[in-house]
A and B are shown apart, each in its own frame.
Chain A
Amino acid sequence: MQAQSEIGYNSKIEGDVVITTVDAALNWFRKNSVWPMPMGLACCAIELMAVGASRFDISRFGSEVMRFSPRQADCMIVAGTVTYKMALSVKRIWDQMPEPRWCIAMGACASTGGMYRSYAVLQGVDRIIPVDIYVSGCPPRPEALLDALMKLQNKISKTPVVENLTIMNLKKAAA
């Protein structure tokens, strides 16, 4: 069952009441307040900071609160080269994030290791954590990161939340 991503609302008819599905409502809440956890490792972190600054405002997408604590964040933006030495810290922090959580691999280094094909660089952060959106560029323009955020919002809005809960609870009851 595809989650309904539209919230049908006609103020003239319905007044102050919105009728929608639980999925659409939950996803609307989640996608419009994705709090990023900036795993700013290298040069992409500077473009990430530029996205947070006033020219390419990320707060108009609801993401202005850059939470450095994984417990309070929704989306981990891996910005920069992940080396083997750092990889375990990244994994540990990913583990500490509560669900629902997403990951954006920003830049070439985070997606595939980038131009650093050497002994110390993890060839892509998706080797250790599940990535939702890959952004190409070295570094990606801030507009590209915002585009990635919008794609993530799209992805979130299509996630069937209630169905998962229902199936999961049924499985638990059966087991």
Chain B
Amino acid sequence: MATVQDIHYKDSAAQTAQAAESIPEFQDERMVLNMGPSHPATHGVLRIVLELDGEIITKADPDVGYLHRGDEKIAENMTYTQFIPYTDRLDYLAPLANNVAYALAVEKLLGIHDKLPPRCQYIRVMCAELARISAHLLGLGAFAMDLGAVTVFLLIFTEREKIYNLAEALCGARFTTSYTRVGGVMRDIPPTWLDQCQKFCDEFIPALNEIETLLTRNRIWVDRVRDLAVISKQDAIDYGLSGPNLRGSGVDWDLRKKQPYLCYKDLEFDVPVGSVGDCYDRYLVRMEEMRQSVRIVQQCIKKMPGGAENKSKEPFNYDDGKILLPPKEKVMTKMEELIHQFMLVTEGMNCPPGEVYFGHENPKGELGFYINSKGGGVPYRMKIRAPSFVNLSIVPKLFQGNMISDTVAILGSIDFVMGECDR
């Protein structure tokens, strides 16, 4: 635990306070402040107990679990398909990405995650990248709003509404989409969807540039977040950080490049890596990741097998009646498909016994599903490795020695979501 004596302050008021520490009459007890679960700037229900010495934090103890809903135990009682809506609500800023992650994990258990039809892969990649843009936007907006830049919050919501429109056109729900299924997706993309995505990409980059002009070289912003809460490379690896937090500290680790899945091998994109590891770096990494995601989406639009309207009838689901619900025309007319439908709905797909772990590059970090199956349609144990849970564990270390007003900046730059952290 860093003591106050070890810290060298830059401003004179703090130096005076530190000097006063040595005078016995001024030595006070530490004050304990509760940054409660209901707080405008804790990004959800997070409680942190701060021990303060004046304005400086000497000890911080995060208290999570205020949104613990028992997802893992629920998973032990549901078939794999029935659990998909619960995955939406994990990282609720990017539901499409969670859906893709979960579907890939169950498909790995079945052994088909690398045998999906190309159209399905491209659709899923587009979903994941749009979700990444959406999540980074809101993370950025909340971060900026907490530090006072309220305009940014309203600007990003305009862009997020456009992504909501895309999601709604895709599957009917703007927000908690439940779009993917094990073995494919719920339905093919609508004919005009790719045009809508292209239009979004064209409008998004100028909007992002506008947001950057407000923040990136803004004197107040830079003063508040630069050189704050530096996470060293060694610490980032030791504490298990992932996603932009890890890359902001200079570790070049992105699951899309290092353990490629879906069709990321065929797509060209760069992975931004920071150099210093402070809050400003993490902010910059996220901004650049959004641009790279737009690049990926545009490539997918051009390369989509079958094109926008799928005139060549490319399959978008894995063709196996034992895994995915067969089309209704066949269910109503043929016996085999009827039996498949019945078994899938009542018992779920028959997964082999075994265990898999699949890590997916979610906007917040590495979302991993560890599925331990003893056969049958219901998992025996499902563990959700939530990036926000792991990212939050470094918070006590980051808070020490910083001031109360820095807590908001640090929490915003770590960018966690309590739905995921507590499951």
Q: Are B69 and A85 in contact (CB under 8 A)?
A: no
Q: Are A118 and B69 in contact (CB under 8 A)?
A: yes
Q: Are A121 and B44 in contact (CB under 8 A)?
A: no
| A141 close to B (CB within 8 Å) | yes
Contacts of A81 in B (CB 8 A): 67, 69
Q: Are A42 and B92 in contact (CB under 8 A)?
A: yes
| Bound-state Cα–Cα, A119 to B93, Å | 25
| B396 close to A (CB within 8 Å) | no
| B174 close to A (CB within 8 Å) | yes
Q: A54-B158, A119-B73 are in contact. Are A46 and B93 (CB under 8 A)?
A: yes
Q: Are B45 and A121 in contact (CB under 8 A)?
A: no
Interface residues on chain A, number (Cβ under 8 Å): 31
| B36, B68, B85, B175: the one within 8 Å of A83 (CB) | B68
Contacts of A3 in B (CB 8 A): none
Q: Are A53 and B89 in contact (CB under 8 A)?
A: no
Contacts of A42 in B (CB 8 A): 44, 67, 89, 92, 418-419
Question: Shortest beta-carbon distance, A27 to chain B, in Å?
Answer: 29
| B341 close to A (CB within 8 Å) | no
Question: Shortest beta-carbon distance, A156 to chain B, in Å?
Answer: 24
| B37, B85, B157, B174: the one within 8 Å of A49 (CB) | B157
| A131 close to B (CB within 8 Å) | no
| A39 close to B (CB within 8 Å) | yes
Q: Are B161 and A120 in contact (CB under 8 A)?
A: no
Question: Shortest beta-carbon distance, B379 to chain A, in Å?
Answer: 16
Residue in A54, A55, A93 whose Cβ sees the most chain B Cβ within 10 Å:
A55
Question: Shortest beta-carbon distance, A106 to chain B, in Å?
Answer: 13
| A29 close to B (CB within 8 Å) | no
| A43 close to B (CB within 8 Å) | yes
Q: A42-B89, A47-B175, A89-B38 are in contact. Are A55 and B161 (CB under 8 A)?
A: yes
Q: Are B419 and A55 in contact (CB under 8 A)?
A: no
Instruction: Write out, one digit per residue, whether chain B residues 8-27 have a CB within 8 A of any chain A CB (1) or not (0).
Output: 00000000000000000000
Contacts of A68 in B (CB 8 A): 38-40
| Bound-state Cα–Cα, A46 to B134, Å | 12
| Bound-state Cα–Cα, A118 to B88, Å | 17
Q: Are B92 and A43 in contact (CB under 8 A)?
A: yes
Instruction: Write out, one digit per residue, whether chain B residues 99-126 have a CB within 8 A of any chain A CB (1) or not (0).
Output: 0000000000000000000000000000
Q: Are A43 and B419 in contact (CB under 8 A)?
A: yes
Contacts of B419 in A (CB 8 A): 42-43
Contacts of A85 in B (CB 8 A): 65-66, 68
Q: Are A53 and B158 in contact (CB under 8 A)?
A: yes
Instruction: Write out, one digit per residue, whether chain A residues 21-54 have a CB within 8 A of any chain B CB (1) or not (0).
Output: 0000000000000000001111101110110011
Q: Are A54 and B157 in contact (CB under 8 A)?
A: yes
| Bound-state Cα–Cα, A89 to B65, Å | 13
| Bound-state Cα–Cα, A98 to B118, Å | 59
| B160 close to A (CB within 8 Å) | yes
| A40, A53, A115: the one within 8 Å of B86 (CB) | A115
Instruction: Write out, one digit per residue, whether chain B residues 165-190 have a CB within 8 A of any chain A CB (1) or not (0).
Output: 00000000011100000000000000
| A138 close to B (CB within 8 Å) | yes
Q: Known contacts A46-B138, A115-B86, A120-B70; can you find 17 more A-B pairs with CB under 8 A?
A: A39-B38, A43-B92, A46-B93, A46-B175, A50-B160, A50-B161, A53-B153, A53-B154, A54-B158, A85-B65, A89-B37, A89-B66, A116-B69, A118-B69, A118-B73, A118-B74, A119-B70
User: Interface of A with B (CB < 8 Å)?
Assistant: 39-43, 45-47, 49-50, 53-55, 68, 80-81, 83, 85-86, 89-90, 93, 115-116, 118-121, 138-139, 141
- What are 12 inter-chain pairs, A to B, with CB distance below 8 A? A42-B44, A42-B67, A42-B89, A43-B176, A43-B419, A46-B92, A46-B138, A55-B157, A83-B68, A116-B74, A118-B73, A118-B74
